[in-house]
Amino acid sequence: MKYLFAFALLVLASQVRAQSSDETTIRTIYDEALARGKSYEMLEYLTTKIGSRLSGSPGAAASVEWTRHIMQNFDFDSVWLQPVMVPHWERGQQEVGRVLNSKKMGTVDLNVCALGNSIGTGPEGITGSVVEVKNFDDLKRLGEKNIKGKIVFFNRPMDPTQIQTFTAYGGAVNQRGGGASEAAKYGAVGVIVRSMGINPEDYPHTGSLGYAPNVPKIPAIAVSTKHADLLSNLLKNDAGLQFYFETHCQIFSDAPSFNVVGQINGSEYKDEIIVVGGHLDSWDLAQGAHDDGTGCVQSIEVLRIFKAMGYKPKRTIRAVMFMNEENGLRGGTEYAAQSASKKENHIAAVESDRGGFTPRGFTLSGTDAAKAKIRSWKNLFEPYGLTDFGQEGGGADISPLAPQGTTLIGFLPDSQRYFSYHHTPEDTFDKVDKRELELGAASMAAMIYLIDMHGLK
């Protein structure tokens, strides 16, 4: 009996030493990020010198070369470009949205923008009466006789009572993604969609739509939340008012581009790969700071921190800048396909694509054993303000790795301000706080350190 007791004491002492070592290393990670971090200066260059980076654009091409250069300068063990063909959509000149003949206000200009991947109206524009709906069931109820030849106005707000803003987004975004094709089934000639924002705002939010096969393609625009409310009120007073909108967007042939990959080789289990990444592309309305410049520079910073500390990982760690998350997910899909063809073993992937705000925790998707092991480290993160490890999820770009059995982890910052900037002209460098950004990079590095040290089995 006394031998069992002694053995238990040895195991406990070993666990205490491991815990103490992890605490010390994580403290060093945070010290490096907060005192000597490079993420903020990287973000400044990416957003203010290169700017918007929609796939297929000159900005996207410039960001690929700059990212490769940065990772080479940090002396990662290897840096390479992974070719991928991406959609090429261009917005063209400024959109016009105008109420023509309301009884209450006459002609009124509204703040609108084309939805990504939408066809354009051309210079002649589209004019028609407006049918307001909340959802696809409303379309079905109204039917072709009430919709054909008209412009459908989807006006379902994001639910402001949801504490998790991504839940509110998920409850509204299908009208943006599928509204044009659903309305076209009933003969609509165009679509207006309430912007995906919670607050009353003057500026519209863009974002991608998808056209269903074998359904006519019709032009689609987003309207600012304030002007969505205005249009709805005008329709209550005059159901017959006419609306005009004009867009000049075009879809071109797919364009060549790249994912950018930087790697630190593993010393013990080099065939086990841990990925950390964000998407390098952004919408064209602004600088793509929170979506997803922050995720890219945080991911590069993870590897830089390890190099600066002199940390030699057991497993291979990769930073991947994925191209074309916004309107195609081609980069994430291609990365996973190449990984599968090479029979690579990705044990975990971490993505930052919720902005560079204060860290709150991580979302998790994987086996029960892997999730339980990650949650057992919660006490190591609590001193740094990370307490939420209970939500499912990973990230769009890393999701194609799921069939390979990869544990998917999403960096989870505070989300309350995210949808004030998401896909808007307001997503600029000045909206990012340096300390919040650095805390996020350190949190991601700490997670990857723990996975590297202890594995997930």
Strand order in the sheet with 190-194: 106-109, 96-102, 242-246, 126-133, 151-154, 190-194, 220-223, 112-114
* CA–centroid distance for 293 within its chain: 10
Total residues found in the chain within this entry: 457
- Cβ neighbours of residue 232 closer than 8 Å, sequence gap 6 or more: 132, 153, 155
DSSP type of residue 363? E
How far is the first Cα of the chain from the last one, in angstroms, to the nearest whole number? 30
Q: Alpha helix (H) ranges present in 50-204?
A: 58-73, 136-147, 165-170, 174-184
392 flagged as catalytic: no
- When computed from its CA atoms, the radius of gyration of the chain, rounded to whole angstroms, is 24
Tokens of 177: 């993604």
Asked if residues 117 and 327 have their Cβ atoms less than 8 Å apart, the reply is yes
Three-state DSSP string of 228-259:
HHHHHHHHHHCCCCEEEEECCCEEEEEEEEEE
Asked if residues 191 and 220 have their Cβ atoms less than 8 Å apart, the reply is yes
Q: Name the β-bridge partners of 127.
A: 244
Nearest to 116 by CA among 293, 310, 274, 247: 247
Q: Tokens 């929609």: give the residue.
A: 54
Q: Name the β-bridge partners of 349.
A: 275, 408
Sign of CA dihedral 50, 52, 58, 61: positive
- What phi and psi values does residue 252 have, to the nearest 5 degrees? -110, 175
Asked if residues 220 and 189 have their Cβ atoms less than 8 Å apart, the reply is no
DSSP type of residue 47? I
Q: Tell me the one-letter amino acid at 163.
A: I
Q: Tell me the one-letter amino acid at 175.
A: Q
Please, is 396 exposed, middle or buried when counting C-beta atoms within 10 Å of its C-beta (0-12, 13-18, 19+)?
middle
Catalytic site residue from 32, 182, 325, 344: 325
Catalytically active residues are 325
